[in-house]
Amino acid sequence: MFVTLPPVGNNYLFSTLASAKRKVTTTMTDQTHTRRTVLQAAGATSVVALAAGCLSDDEDENGGGNGDDDDDEIDPSEWEDVDTIELDGAVGGWEGVAPDMIAGEQNPTIVLFEGQEYDFTWYNADNGTHNIEIWDEDEEVVDDYATDQVNDDEQTLEGVVASEEMAYYRCYPHDQMQAPIQVESE
């Protein structure tokens, strides 16, 4: 039976289990390892592989938008008098604070009306470094609507004029902090 061990320096170890002695003899380095060492190395490799899978850049099941997966219809009329959006920011995602219809919602869809001006305020919920940016469908910042990455208690992106090209709001370094913007024409 052949066992592949994790890289050591620039060498990859290809090993043979010797069942009678419970030892592993490597064919490239002529070193002998106990079965326990081999199993520990295999376990460490599994943990690293699992962690790497958790950190992949693959989009999630809802297309990378991370917005609300509920089938609830959004009523744009509820948003007509809104001019300030408030969010808690944490690595796990945005959480709605205000207006009331998004309070407590994870990565809520925001409704804006074309030509109207809005302020986006986010509160640092995990003391991490975050920012907020407004993106188009091509994941490019719209009209320089972006704040610096900071770990302050709160930050406001002021004077955002809604336009049809707006598609997402996002924390640049954290892809799980991205949610849709729905722009309505009046």
pLDDT in tens, 63-93: 344 444 455 689 999 999 999 999 999 999 9
Which of 97-135 are b and which e, b meaning 16 or more Cβ less than 10 Å from the residue's Cβ? bebebbeebbbbbbbbbeebebebbbbbbeebbbbbbbb
Sheet of 141-146, strands arranged across: 110-113, 174-184, 168-171, 133-135, 141-146
pLDDT, residue 65, reads 42
Q: What is the mean pLDDT of residues 86-109?
A: 97
pLDDT greater at residue 186 or residue 10: 186
Query: pLDDT digit string (tens) for 110-134?
Result: 999 999 999 999 999 999 999 999 9
Domains in the chain (CATH in brackets) are 2-54 (no CATH), 76-184 (2.60.40.420)
Instruction: Provide the whole-model pTM.
Output: 0.62
